[in-house]
Amino acid sequence: MHPSPLHVSPPGSNSSARVKGRPHTLESRQKISAANRGKVPWNKGRSMSQETKDKIRQGVLRRLDEKERLNPKTPDLNKKESTRKRGDPLSDEIRAKISETMKKKWANSTYAEERKKAREALYESAIINATQADGSVDYSKVNVIGMAGRKHSKETREKISQTLKARWETEDGFRDRMVTMMKMARGNEEGKVPEETRKKISQKLKKRWREEEGFRDRMMLGIKTRALASSPRAEEHRKRISDAIKAKWTEDDYRKRATDGINRSLKERAAKGTLKNRGSKKNTSNKKSLKEKTKSVKEEEVNVANKQEISFVKEDVKSMKTKTKLPAKEDETETIKHAKKATKSVERGMQPPSSTLVTAQRPKQQEEEEVVIDMTEVGFEDEPKEAHLHTNLSDMAALKQERYSELSRDVWNLLYGDDDEFVDDDDADGSLYATTAATRGGY
């Protein structure tokens, strides 16, 4: 093997030995590159055999064993190396000096502006690099290099929060820049995730729920934790939130932003028709409540009318008892029983409330009061309810009027009639009504 002309061997050494510990200069690297330019590597397109792979593996393991034997690792040694790699901890004095120096630098407006521009450019480039082919942004790859393995303390997070709040409220153009960057990250002008991206995210999450081991348990734990966090707040906590919101509404800027957002939301909902649908539902509920109120008022009126009707019937029965001349005590007792039974039957017939009333009158020579009876809810067992569905309105009116007349006549006969042949269905012999009519003698 001939020595390379680019390698210079030290005097007294083997010319074929490889030079170690001497890095190539820039000129040397350029010469090597020019000499190898256009040549095809001898191992291009070749794959190693299993025998070659085993040899490489054995050599690597042998060197690792030798390194472990020469440099044994102990817990103390590991801790020492870890501390050495992290560097010496800064004392409070050194930290104070660094802080003063950085404050002086940031007090310079030129330096501050340059650093802000550099930081924003770095963030934008990180967003662009983390943007995937479908337009979505993988935020796990943004700003992770500088904070890898580090966590801010509670005091540091509080300072960062106050600084950002102040910038959002006071710094000109900061809000617009942040909104623009968020829209750029979303990939459209509205700042909303495209429908295609939403579908891809949905499919990916469904696949992870089905296939990824441990994903379901982590998600369920997060859901439970979120449910506990959203549990009803204490009264003191609610009061603090209320006071904070009230204080913010006293600020003109916040009030303007909030009212503008509410108006914009109302316009969007009106354009989509959401407000119209809600209004129609509300009107329907109002109509229902109005109908229910009207129905209840009508029922009260009918109940009052029914009570008055029952009182009229009782007064008629009393007047009938006083005007009837009974020859014997037994007949008077039977007549009283008959009157009570008639009153109860009339009351049972008028129990259901109704607004349709029929007036039954006695002949003019009888100076008695009118008897008003509810006829709508009186049932006819011979006629099914479905019969009215197939009848014309005129026929229905005529049939109803005829039945009302018949029932009015029967009620009048029951109270004031003198038919000796009337037989009560409740009395097996019919002797009660026959005796009463015969002894009464009519009017």
- Could you read off the pLDDT of 340-376 as tens digits, one per residue? 565 555 455 544 444 444 444 444 444 444 444 444 4
Instruction: Give, rounded to a whole angstrom, the gap between the first and last alpha carbons of the chain.
Output: 156
pLDDT tier at 63 (50, 70, 90 boundaries)? confident
Give me the pLDDT at residue 292, please: 67
Burial class for 350, CB neighbours closer than 10 Å (0-12, 13-18, 19+): buried
Most confident of 28-42, 83-97, 308-322, 408-422: 28-42
- Which pLDDT belongs to residue 98? 93
Predicted confidence at residue 55, as pLDDT, reads: 94
Give me the pLDDT at residue 391, please.
47
| pLDDT of amino acid 200 | 85
The mean per-residue pLDDT over the stretch 139-157 comes to 70
- Rounded to whole angstroms, how far apart are CA atoms 315 and 368? 10
pLDDT exceeds cutoff 90 at 70: no
Instruction: Give the model's pLDDT for residue 371.
Output: 47
* The pairing of beta strand 371-374 with beta strand 357-360: antiparallel
Q: Does residue 25 have a pLDDT over 70? A: yes
Measure the CA–CA gap between 143 and 243, rounded to whole angstroms: 36
Query: Full-prediction pTM beyond 0.75?
Result: no
Read off the DSSP letter of residue 386. G
Choice between 165 and 184, residue whose per-residue pLDDT is larger: 165
Give CA 352 to chain center in angstroms: 46
Token pair, residue 33, equals 């590159």
Mean pLDDT of 384-410: 63
| DSSP annotation string for 81-95 | HHHHHH-PPPPHHHH
pLDDT score of 441 more than 80: no
Per-residue pLDDT at 34: 92
- Counted residue by residue, the chain has a size of 443
- What is the rounded average pLDDT of the residues 108-121? 87
Region 186-210 average pLDDT:
76
